[in-house]
Structure 1
Amino acid sequence: MSLFTGWRAALRIARRDAMRAKGRSALVVAMIALPVLGVTAADVTYRSVASTEAEQLTARMGSADALFSDPGIGPLQQMPDGNMYDVVGDEPPEGDIPPVDMRTALPEGARAISIRSVPASVTTAYGLTDTEIVEFRTSDPMARGKVDLIEGKFPGGAGEMVATKPFLESAGLHVGSRTTVNSAGRTYTITGVVEQPDNLKSRTLYADPGAVIAPWQAAADRDKNVLPPNTGSTEWLVSGSGATGIGWGDVLAANTTGVLVVSRQVLLDPPPDSEIPLAKSVSDYDADNSGEESAAVITVVAMALLEIVLLAGPAFAVGARRSRRQLGLLGTCGGDRRHVRAVVLSGGLVLGAVGAVTGVAAGLLLTVVFRPLIEDWAGQRFGSLLLKPTELLVIAALGLVTGLLAAFAPAIVAARQSVLESLTGRRGVRRSSRVLPTVGACVLALGIAVAVYGGTSGESTLVAGGSVVAELGLLACIPVIVGLLGRLGRRLPLSPRMALRDAARNRGRTAPAVAAVMAAVAGSVAIATYMSSSLAESDHDYTPMLTTGTMVLSATDAKSAERLPTTRASVEQNMTVTGGHADFSRVWAGSDCNIYYEEENGCGTMTLVKPTGKGHTCPLNTKGAKDLAARLSAEEHQRMMRSPACMDEYISSGSFSLDPNNIVVGGPDLLRTYAKLDDPAAAAALKAGTPVLLNRAYAKNGEITLKAVHTYNAEDKKNRALHPGPARTSTDRLKVYVADAEYAATPGIRMVLPERTAERLGLHTQAAGSVYAVPHPPTEAEEQRVSAAIDQAGGGLWLQTEHGPGDRENVILLILTLFAGVVTLGAAAITTGLAKADAEADLTTLSAVGAPPRVRRTLSGFQCLVVALTGVLLGTAAGLVPAVALRMVDLRNAMDAMREEPMESAFTPIVLPWATIGLLAVVVPLLAGLLAAALTRSRLTLARRAG
């Protein structure tokens, strides 16, 4: 028999065996096809989202030939892509450079349309919001690809606009709604919905040129209370007169007039360096990170192959055992071991090919079906559905190779069986090897030691290598761990006892499934732990502008302060406010003046003098700070950073009082509402005229030093009469009530000063705003309603809200948890199905001797639970090794930075993602067990015991 003939027969046998055992074959095909499907979808999505240069140009300049702009530097020279340019000559021209007359820069016969944008405040269905308005003729054919119409029609005149969908959703508007540009005083009708294909989340309004900016400027010229539009630079989309578009010669000619050009023709067909004047003085540098990208891709592919091999391998092993009589007959007909191996490997080849083709086809189909969802998630449209046949063939080949690798070990085992064992169905008794777990334990210990050493020495490469070695060592120990499970069921009821013993007896199919679950969970837990720890670190370093659960309404000057009562009523009407509010005033040592635009010596100054000495001066900001930091541990350094003496220097707290000393005039309600200081003694002190100091580092012997320089404008007759003469300096020592150390971290307030005490000291006070207690940050609709009320009252006030350190919903953690959960469920289901197929004769005997029907169902559930729970627990332990070691690397780096700069935080916590671990360790195994029990038939038709 020739080699070709032998393999042809083996393939025929494998194909017939796959058709005969359709359930097991479908299981293997699914396990190979799923990763191939995922990689195919990811490849097509990546290629489609990563736009080509031509698609990027279309998103930037529509269907125009070029984009012209005026950098305002005079004659220039540029690189072909327009990203780099410079003035002509060694020195830039002096004086103001007038804007370029674009008509002089355009090639003969060319046509251009302008693009100008302006930030504006517009009315919404709820109130008022800030957005960007772009004057751009969106109906022009040159705009296609840059702005596309998806509903309604383009603007047809000066009173019409189009808007993007995100803007309409946030503003509660729709096609046909009317919106008013606040400063311009013009109302416009929204006639259509457009989108920017490269930015689907843009909140923008579009109007024809001259529809917004010109009337706004005219209104500003008529009324000095109207601020003029703050327009950015103007760009022009240009279409050439001929079929060639805008060439390099046109670009050079435009450069001489001071215009920067991005040309489609030049970018797609750049000129030689000899024709680029700027290229003679510029050397391009392109960092090559292809090696790192290739390493990352190889790692991901290797992990995917390992998962498939671990999950699909037991299926081939069970299939080989179910076909052992057929393989034995092959031996009686003259076949040797290599023919047996060929039959089993052919099964891997056949099922791998089917899985690869199915996965690629399903990946392409799903990408097409879910394309709109993927585009919305990515925030941009696909330029086109880009397919790379070479890459798809490589992906399919990987699926085929994976099938062969999964069948490799079962093929060797099947070839070693004697013909007698194969024909009689006896498996024989084989003792487990003691060498593998011993070596595995040693490798596990070595890997942990290397990872820990890498963490303490700051070598992340050693951490990665040690973690991989440790996981491989744990993989080698899994058969022994599975074997020990059988001893745990001695005192358990029948079903769990049988499930544990079955797992221990059939380690060949249990151990790979446990290993697959462990590998998936380990990676997810490692990344989730590191990300949770980094998130806790960023939360710790986050500087809040306000205390949690508060909102502040502030006035900018004396005129706006007069409108506070009306605006307060509007805020309380339109916002969800709990616990009331507290009014406050600002204080300075001088006359009434504009806080933002102070004239020189127009306002007085006031300083809260910080004493020196222990408890007052921050040790980390002194001459010997570096020596001190070198002796501190991370915990000691953290406690010192959080002490009142260092608090102000460590945390640059926001001040809604506009006073650099964070001194606010208020009463007990301000302490209770904002500082969360509900202390009767502090309230009594304020009522008695005693200031309340929140940062005790500024007090010495219960007193503070307040230094003020009093100045008064000549027009302020009241204060001039009270305090005649030139500017004077006063220093006052005041008894204060000192709050506990924890209140030193209150954002924006260092001391609360009673009104009557400020007047006694000759300090000027002015109503500045109110603080509200709110159950949650205001919604967009609430903010828009209040913005409208503020504008209606005359403006000059603003609302500050504290939204916290950012979005707490982490999509990556969710995806990792779902991935690990799906692999856990899949591995447990596969093992349970294989166990049922492998132990069919034992289950038949169990039913024959009178076991209740529910035993079969509960046995399947516990078999699934054993695999899932064991893999999850081992994976969690394995995943903590790299996560903890990497955080040790971060700690070392943070300590080094702290010793160089003592005020740098060295806080590097290790936070376990309990939600992820709980979901994987409790919910997923229980769900796997319940599903297995629910999908298993209780009753079995009795048949003659096989074998």
Structure 2
Amino acid sequence: MSAGRMEKTTRSPLAALRAALRISRRDALRTKGRSALIMTMIGLPVLAVSFMLTWQATGDLTELERVPLKLGSADARLTDTRAAVPIRQDDTGFWEARTGEPERPPRSGAEIQGLAGAGSRVIPMSRAFLEYRTGAAYGDAEAAEVDLRDPMTAGMFPLLGGRHPKSADEVAVTGPVEAAIGTTLRYTRDDLPKRVVGIVREQPHEYGRTIIGLPGSLLPAGTEAERFWLLDAPEPVTWEETLRLNREGLAVLSRAVLEDPPATGDGPRDALAPFPETGRTEGLLLAGLSVTLLVIEVALLAGPAFAVGLRRRRRELALVAAQGGSARHLKLVVLADGLTLGLAGSALGALLGIGAARVAASVVGVWPDGGLGPFEVPVGRIALTVALGVFSGVAAAVVPAVQAGRTSPAAVLADRRVRPRDRAGWPLLGLALLAAGTGATVHGIRAETTWVIGGAVLGLLGLVLLTPLLVRLADRPAGGLPLPLRLAVRDAARNRGRTAPAVVAVMAAAAAFGTVAVVIAGAERSRVESYRPSYPLGATAVYGDDVTEDSWKKIRPIIEQALPGVPLVEAYQPVDADGRIVHFDPMEGRCNDCAISVGPLGELPAGGPGLLRFLLGRTDPAAEAALAEGKAVIFNPEAVRGGKVRLRASAQGMSDSAVPKQITLPATTAIVRGASMVLGVVPVPALAEVGLKARLHHLIVDPAVARPTPEQERRFNAPVRAVTPNVAVHVERGVLANPPDETLNLWIMAAVASVVMLGGTFTAAGLALADARSDLATLSAVGARPWTWQAVAAGQALFIAGFGAPLGLLAGLVPGFALTLQRDVQMGRWREVGLNGVPIERSEAVLAVPWPVFLAVGLVLPLAAALIAALSARTKVTLTRRIA
């Protein structure tokens, strides 16, 4: 650039920007590898976010997009609210009426037709859930009664095969029902038969299994169902027409209203919402903090590449400065790099993300050919994502731009390396931010989550400012290291502008992973400690509250056939004359301000010696003799006074104002090991003496007698549940029998975090090797072997990953523990005891560290990075002539 042209650019900021962009574009084309690397670092997060935003927008159906699913080709859908007074509704059909008013009888189809007006036509439609037989058991399905032959239903359930039902004994089903055309489908527990004549497509985001029949042909009498009418009107159903029908107690979902919603104040949604939206401010703060963390991470990953690019261009920048360019112009050139590459990378990432979402949507299928809605690109949110990507690119170039402004033309043109100067105030500011972040995080334990996340962001910024000092201090003990490692450490310390951002990027990814990992580990440990077994380990229980005597007569032979010769322990629940379950509360020996765990057997089950042996885990002849004499066996000695136990009884369903009666039973005591979730056992005849009944509630297989094999469980599980929907089968396997997927999720997150950390590590290590070609040439000139260069590469990767990953994991412990403690503090502290008065051990705060995953990320990952860097390093160095 000539002096004349530079003089012109100094007069106009816009001209200076154009010149800087032109220089940046030419440099990006000249150094394609570095430019592609920076664009990848910036574009990958934009690609991922754009894909997720597009996928979510495509998958989420708006109310207007749901019109074909809810209305077909009808103009509106009318719902009889049975409200005795006018109702209010919003544009989506959500309605409310004054509470406390009596309901009126439902309107007939003729009355609905009359309210719809002249020239209109209505057809009924009903939806409810029912059961249908699937082999030996029953499954749930949604039943819809509507005439699919009517033009108004076009688009609701597209026909895939066969035809629509024409008579009352015919149905159409969706694919998940797994019923072929021509087969007989049996539904409800009465096994009512229907012939399948058609297969229709299920509606996205709705219950997949659906059975469709003609109106009045599918739902048994008395079934609670959602009933409405589809309306074909001569004119569009406007908002004014909707308000008229609201005065008659009809809620309206209108196609015309959805396409042209009413103005605010004519029925706004927020005025009708029964539950006000909460947490919106906190959600916005969390979103803002998450975006901030993302921008910081991207900027740190791309920062080293800009730093290396600055050193490669320092002669060009020195020439610009020598011809009259000011420090502002030099900074502008480097910032233009961030703007150019950030815009190119973000735009390319957004286009690739949208394209990937389009390909994925075509594979899954959009409605009506698949389970997604119409393909939709959220232009506004993706544009904001691109803007964030561009901002990340510019932010990544800020520090190199500041360094460029301090370029000494004389030193650069004389080929003298200028050592970076550390700002004396930066470490102090970093310590202050770190302390403030830690304080905010600790405060967040008893406050909102935003305090914890905000504190983590402040702490990360503090570490960003402290890392250059830490990297420089790491150079001091490097003298005792082998030569390759000593070269790597000292090169990293000398080029802190390149090393520090890479270390912080690895540190930030490790800290984010460490925080989430600690929270998940704490939740898992809390789940283990708070688990309360329903029965002794290994027990098999078949139980139900509303199982009739006839159903038990069918269930017992099924179990006995699957477990021949195994006795079944019977447990009864006390009920009143109306069949309501009675709960017992001991008058003596109660624990005040305690949380008491009660299992499915209830507080005081009724039964015989078998039930007592099952609950005690041993044979107690004295207790069994007392039980045979009609005495209750109580596990809490404090509850028995003078050979009797006084109980406060309350029947389920009684009003709060009802005074629970008290009963007194003769009782003895028995000691059970540990905390018990039952108060004891009462003999069945004793309930009759106090005016109560005993209803069979449990059939139990005592694990001390037999433990069913998985094959035996399979043989009676489905047939038992096929007898009645009110019965359940439970095999007590303990808390670890069905562990959640959290362990797998932890390793998946560790893999994702490792990819980010390895990417930052290899980027910085590769740039360091490229920047150190002259040093490597010197080593080669004095006889260094190729493995020395590989060792240097391994040392570069080991220093970055080994410095950043462990420090990041340690930093993640603070917000991770804070979030875990926050959960425990918000849950409150209480004393938990069994019904026998024995305390249940419970930690006040459950803190856990997943050490295997931490060791893999903090120790194995740096070693793996070093090994990969060594294997991939170039071993051939081209010697260059140097001028002394």
TM-score, normalised via structure 2 length = 0.80
Quote the residue 2:227 is aligned against: 234
**C-alpha separation between the residues in 2 aligned to 1:442 and 1:568?**
69
> Cα 1:267–1:370, aligned 2, differ >3 Å: closer, same or farther?
closer
1:344 pairs, out of 330, 334, 338, with 334
Which amino acid counterpart does residue 212 of structure 1 have in structure 2? L
- Is 2:463 the partner of 1:477? no
**C-alpha separation between the residues in 2 aligned to 1:783 and 1:112?**
49
**C-alpha separation between the residues in 2 aligned to 1:423 and 1:462?**
50
> What are the Cα deviations for residues 415-445 of structure 1, in whole angstroms up to 9, with x where unaligned?
4232343234331345645543244234423
Shift of 1:28: 0.6
Quote the residue 2:190 is aligned against: 183
Quote the residue 1:386 is aligned against: 376
Q: Secondary structure at the match of 2:65?
A: helix
> Cα 1:461–1:355, aligned 2, differ >3 Å: closer, same or farther?
closer
Moved more, 390-399 or 128-137: 390-399
**C-alpha separation between the residues in 2 aligned to 1:373 and 1:357?**
24
Shift of 1:568: 0.2
1:204 pairs, out of 193, 199, 210, with 210
- Is 2:514 the partner of 1:515? no
Quote the residue 1:925 is aligned against: 862
> What are the Cα deviations for residues 427-483 of structure 1, in whole angstroms up to 9, with x where unaligned?
13456455432442344234424543554x647665555444333222222122223
**C-alpha separation between the residues in 2 aligned to 1:772 and 1:312?**
64
**C-alpha separation between the residues in 2 aligned to 1:165 and 1:778?**
30
Q: Secondary structure at the match of 2:604?
A: coil
Quote the residue 1:842 is aligned against: 775
**C-alpha separation between the residues in 1 aligned to 2:680 and 2:107?**
52
Shift of 1:863: 2.4
- Is 2:257 the partner of 1:266? yes
User: Would the aligned equivalents of 1:138 and 1:154 in 2 still touch at CA under 8 Å?
Assistant: yes
User: Would the aligned equivalents of 1:61 and 1:146 in 2 still touch at CA under 8 Å?
Assistant: yes
Shift of 1:247: 3.4
Shift of 1:834: 0.9
- Provide the aligned C-alpha RMSD in A: 4.9
Quote the residue 1:421 is aligned against: 411
**C-alpha separation between the residues in 1 aligned to 2:745 and 2:73?**
37
User: Would the aligned equivalents of 2:83 and 2:104 in 1 still touch at CA under 8 Å?
Assistant: no
Q: Secondary structure at the match of 1:744?
A: coil
Alignment of 1:203-602 (within 5 A): 203-213=209-219, 217=220, 230-240=223-233, 242=234, 244-248=235-239, 250-251=241-242, 254-255=245-246, 258-270=249-261, 292=282, 294-331=284-321, 335-371=325-361, 381-430=371-420, 432-453=422-443, 455=445, 458=447, 463-487=452-476, 489-534=478-523, 536-537=525-526, 545-546=534-535, 550-554=539-543, 556-569=547-560, 583-587=568-572, 599=577
> What are the Cα deviations for residues 865-911 of structure 1, in whole angstroms up to 9, with x where unaligned?
33223222222222222333345555555559999xxx999944333
Which amino acid counterpart does residue 49 of structure 2 have in structure 1? V
Alignment of 1:668-707 (within 5 A): 671=614, 679=618, 682=620, 695-697=635-637, 705=645
- Is 2:26 the partner of 1:33? no
- Is 2:801 the partner of 1:861? no
**C-alpha separation between the residues in 2 aligned to 1:275 and 1:685?**
72
Moved more, 683-692 or 851-860: 683-692
Moved more, 59-68 or 749-758: 749-758
User: Would the aligned equivalents of 1:668 and 1:683 in 2 still touch at CA under 8 Å?
Assistant: no
Shift of 1:318: 0.5
**C-alpha separation between the residues in 1 aligned to 2:489 and 2:162?**
66
**C-alpha separation between the residues in 2 aligned to 1:789 and 1:442?**
66
Which amino acid counterpart does residue 770 of structure 1 have in structure 2? I
> Cα 1:360–1:189, aligned 2, differ >3 Å: closer, same or farther?
same
**C-alpha separation between the residues in 1 aligned to 2:124 and 2:740?**
41
**C-alpha separation between the residues in 1 aligned to 2:148 and 2:290?**
44
Quote the residue 2:591 is aligned against: 618
Q: Secondary structure at the match of 2:97?
A: strand
Q: Secondary structure at the match of 1:108?
A: coil
Q: Secondary structure at the match of 2:195?
A: strand
Q: Secondary structure at the match of 2:397?
A: helix
Q: Secondary structure at the match of 1:427?
A: coil
Which structure 2 segments of 5+ residues have no match?
650-662, 833-838
Moved more, 556-565 or 364-373: 556-565
Shift of 1:69: 1.8
**C-alpha separation between the residues in 2 aligned to 1:568 and 1:775?**
13
Quote the residue 2:76 is aligned against: 66
Which structure 1 segments of 5+ residues have no match?
218-227, 574-579, 589-594, 621-640, 642-648, 710-728
Shift of 1:212: 2.5
> What are the Cα deviations for residues 335-388 of structure 1, in whole angstroms up to 9, with x where unaligned?
554444344333323322321221121121122122368899xxx955433335
User: Would the aligned equivalents of 2:604 and 2:681 in 1 still touch at CA under 8 Å?
Assistant: no
Quote the residue 1:769 is aligned against: 699
**C-alpha separation between the residues in 2 aligned to 1:606 and 1:15?**
81
**C-alpha separation between the residues in 2 aligned to 1:71 and 1:39?**
43
Which amino acid counterpart does residue 911 of structure 1 have in structure 2? A
User: Would the aligned equivalents of 1:708 and 1:731 in 2 still touch at CA under 8 Å?
Assistant: no
> Cα 1:700–1:827, aligned 2, differ >3 Å: closer, same or farther?
same
Alignment of 1:773-784 (within 5 A): none
Shift of 1:29: 0.8
**C-alpha separation between the residues in 1 aligned to 2:305 and 2:391?**
16
Q: Secondary structure at the match of 2:848?
A: coil
Shift of 1:831: 0.9
- Give the paired residue count: 837
Which amino acid counterpart does residue 854 of structure 2 have in structure 1? I
> What are the Cα deviations for residues 774-807 of structure 1, in whole angstroms up to 9, with x where unaligned?
999999x987974445647x99855346798998
Shift of 1:618: 0.9
**Percent same amino acid among aligned pairs?**
29
> Cα 1:503–1:78, aligned 2, differ >3 Å: closer, same or farther?
same
Q: Secondary structure at the match of 1:54?
A: coil
User: Would the aligned equivalents of 2:627 and 2:633 in 1 still touch at CA under 8 Å?
Assistant: no
2:666 pairs, out of 719, 732, 757, with 732
Which amino acid counterpart does residue 196 of structure 2 have in structure 1? T
> What are the Cα deviations for residues 688-743 of structure 1, in whole angstroms up to 9, with x where unaligned?
9789968435565997748999xxxxxxxxxxxxxxxxxxx984343x44122x24
Which amino acid counterpart does residue 504 of structure 2 have in structure 1? A
